[in-house]
Structure 1
Amino acid sequence: MPKDPETAVLPGPWWFAANEVLAFLLELAALAVLSWWGFSAGGNAALRVVLGVGVPLAAIVVWGLFAAPKARLKPALPFVLLVKAVVLGSSAVALYALGHPVAAIVLAVVVVVNTAVAETFRRDPPVRSGPPASV
């Protein structure tokens, strides 16, 4: 990892980087849960495959267009948060539908807290404290 804060991948204190990693892991978990739900939901095998592959694929496309750090389109923050709420919230609803209500609530709470912290500090990242980096 670079020692210069200007070239660091994730600026700021360790908790900022940890929250960013958690955000990525929550995104991956959302895709996994949506796929799990899709493969469990359909009436016949063909519909289960379509839902199991199609739902997470649709989430990936929407996320990549609007909510990813390097999104193709750059909508205003309220729309980005709406997309995140739909994709990540859908994974909590899917987890509930799969018969895991406690896990769904925990996932929803973690997503809300993580997103609030991430969006707050992405707009105004904390400054890395400590002695200046040596060259």
Structure 2
Amino acid sequence: MRLPAPLHVVNEGLAFLLELAALAALAWWGWQSVENIALRLILAVVAPAAAAALWGLFAAPKARIRVPLAGVLAVKALVFGAAVAALHAVGVHAGAVAFGLVAVVNTALATMDRRAAVHR
């Protein structure tokens, strides 16, 4: 099923915001997770940087390494799952659940939309 054009645009915009929110959640977790200020800074930078690198290599629309859809979905599940875990770890339990649900619905809609576009 192909999404109507306005819904496609909204869903793609939401996907981008979810990706940014995932990076922010990982940075927040990194900052909150340890007492040592140097280690805090390292985790706050490295966690989102690793997620962004993984996403850019395998899950981005112009990914450097093309993988089958299952690989793309696995990377998205890993990054979004890490963001959910990060939000939960910093005590934002309802936000973690909401983020996870929105990410699943967004990814499902985007996957359906892309598959329909390819099979046209």
TM above 0.5 = yes
2:77 to 80, 85, 101: 85
- 1:48-127 aligned within 5 A: 48-125=40-117
- TM-score, structure 1 normalization: 0.82
Partner of 1:22: 14
Structure 1 unaligned blocks of 5 or more: 1-10, 126-135
Q: How many residues align?
A: 115
Rounded to whole Å, the distance in 2 between the matches of 1:61 and 1:16 is: 25
Cα RMSD of the aligned pairs, angstroms, is: 1.2
- 1:12 Cα deviation (Å)? 4.6
- TM-score, structure 2 normalization: 0.92
Q: Given residue 53 of structure 2, which amino acid in structure 1 is its aligned partner? A: V
Structure 2 unaligned blocks of 5 or more: none
Rounded to whole Å, the distance in 1 between the matches of 2:49 and 2:5 is: 34
Partner of 1:41: 33
Q: Which runs of 4+ in 1 moved over 4 A?
A: none
- 1:123 Cα deviation (Å)? 1.9
Q: Given residue 73 of structure 1, which amino acid in structure 2 is its aligned partner? A: I
Rounded to whole Å, the distance in 2 between the matches of 1:111 and 1:64 is: 18
Rounded to whole Å, the distance in 2 between the matches of 1:39 and 1:68 is: 26
Rounded to whole Å, the distance in 2 between the matches of 1:79 and 1:42 is: 32
- 1:43 Cα deviation (Å)? 2.8
Q: Determine which structure has more spread, i.e. the larger CA radius of gyration.
A: 1
Query: Aligned to 1:71, what secondary structure does the other structure show?
Result: coil
Q: Given residue 49 of structure 2, which amino acid in structure 1 is its aligned partner? A: L
